[in-house]
Amino acid sequence: MNEETEQQEVQSIEPVKGRIVSVDVLRGFDMFWITGGAGFFIAIFKLFGGKMEKWFVPQLDHADWAGFHFYDLIFPLFVFIVGMSVVFSLEKLLATKGKKAAYNRIIRRFILLYLLGIIEYGGMSHGFQHIRLLGVLQRLALTYFFTGILFIHFRTKGLIVAFAALLIGYWAWLSFIPVPGLGHVSFAEGLNWTNWIDQHYLPLRKWDGQWDPEGILSTLPAIGSCLLGVFASLLLRNKSVEDMKKVYYFIGGGIAAVILGYLWGLQFPVIKKIWTSSYVLVAGGYSFILLGVLYLILDVWKVQKWAIVFVWIGMNPITIYMGRNVLDFNALARRFVGGELQTCCGEKFGYLLMTAVSLALTLVVVRFLFKRKIFLRL
C-alpha cells in the first residue's frame, strides 16, 4: 500500500481533520451497546446456549445491586467521554474568549441536554407529577455542567484535589453517618443514604416507585467519573508526552484504578445504582484501558479501517440515542421479519433475526448522516 492510498483511508474514517479517531470510536463503541448491540449479542449467546449463555448474557445487563458486569461500564464510560469533551470544547475557548464565553457554552449545553432528558422520559405526556427530573441525559448534563465549572477555575492539581474530595467525601458520608430511621450505616438497596435522600427530597416522579438510580447524592461521585475524562484529555493533548508513553499511562493507570477500586470495594461495595466511589474507580479504570488500546491501534499504529462503523455512531451519539426513543427500530424490524417469518425461524433464530435487522436499520441511519456530514452538536 503506497503512502497516498494509506492517507486516503485515514481521511475516509476521519470526518474532520485533526480529530482524535480513538475518541470518536470509543464514543461509538459505547453507544453501539445502547443502540441495539446488546440485544444482538444476547440473541447470539442465547442461540449457543449452555455455559456461553449462562455467563455472557448476564454481562449484558446491569448487576442487580453490588458487583460489576460489562454493561455496568456503558453509562460511566459515556460520562468519562463527556469529561473528555469538556477539555476539547472549553480549552481553546478559554484561551481566546475567556471565562464568560466558556460559561455561556456550558450553560447552553447543560440546558439543552437536560431538556432532552426530560423529553426522553416522556416529558409532560403522563402529567406533571410523572416528570422524571433525573435520568441518563440529565446526569450527563449535570456532570458536564459542574465539571465545566471546575475546569474553568482550576488547573490540573486543583482538579485532582476536587476528584479526591468528591470520592472520599461520598465514601465518608455513606460509611460513617447513620441512615435516619435505621440507626446505623448501610449500603443495602433502599436502606442507604443515597436512596433515603431521593425518597424524601426528589420531587415528582419516583423511579421504580421509590428512588431514581440517577439520584441526587450520587451525582457527586458521577462528577468524579467526568473528571477522569478531563484527565484523559489533558494527557492526550499534552504534546510533550510521546504517544507510546500516553498508551502506557492509560493502560497502566487504568489497571491500577481497577485494582484499587476492587480493593476499596471490599469495604465500600462496587454498586452502580448508587455510584459508589469504588465503582467510579473500577469503571474509570476500564475506560482508561479501552482508550489506551484504541489510541494505540487507531492513532499510533493507524489501523483504522475496521472501526468505521463505530465512527458512524460516535459522530452522532445524541441523534441516534434520541432517535431510537422517538423511532422504534425494533417495531420497524418486526415489520420486516416479524410475524410468521419470525415464527418459522424458531424462537431463538427469530429473536436473532429481529435484533439483527433492528441494529442494521440503526447503522443505515448513522451511515447516512455520516456520509452527508450531518452531525448534531449541542
Q: What is the pLDDT of residues 224-243, one digit of tens each?
A: 999 999 999 999 999 999 99
Query: What is the pLDDT averaged over residues 197-216?
Result: 76
Checking if the pLDDT of 12 tops 60, the result is: no
CB 108 within 8 A of CB 183: no
In this predicted structure, the answer to whether residue 15 has a pLDDT above a threshold of 90 is no
Strand partners for 66: 271
- 64 phi, psi to nearest 5 deg: -55, -45
pLDDT tens, 55-70? 999 999 999 999 999 9
The C-alpha atoms of residue 57 and residue 44 are separated, in whole angstroms, by 9
> What's the pLDDT at 208?
56
Q: Identify the bridge partners of residue 271 per DSSP, sorted by sequence position.
A: 66
The 3-state secondary structure of 107-131, one letter per residue = HHHHHHHHHHHHHHCCCCCCCHHHC
Instruction: pLDDT band for 341, please (50, 70, 90 cuts).
Output: low
* Residue 41: Cβ within 10 Å count: 20
Query: What cell numbers appear for 307 in the block?
Result: 472501526
- This prediction has a pTM of 0.93
State the Cα–Cα distance between residues 347 and 106, nearest whole angstrom. Answer: 48
pLDDT score of 10: 42
What was the pLDDT predicted at 181? 93
pLDDT of residue 5: 42
Q: Give the pLDDT confidence score for residue 127 in this predicted structure.
A: 75
- For residue 27, report the phi and psi dihedrals to the nearest 5 degrees: -65, -40
Residues written for the chain: 378
Please state which of the ranges 67-81, 254-268, 350-364 shows the lowest mean pLDDT.
350-364
pLDDT in tens, 250-302: 999 999 999 999 999 999 999 999 999 999 999 999 999 999 999 999 999 99
Q: Where are the domains of the chain?
A: 3-371
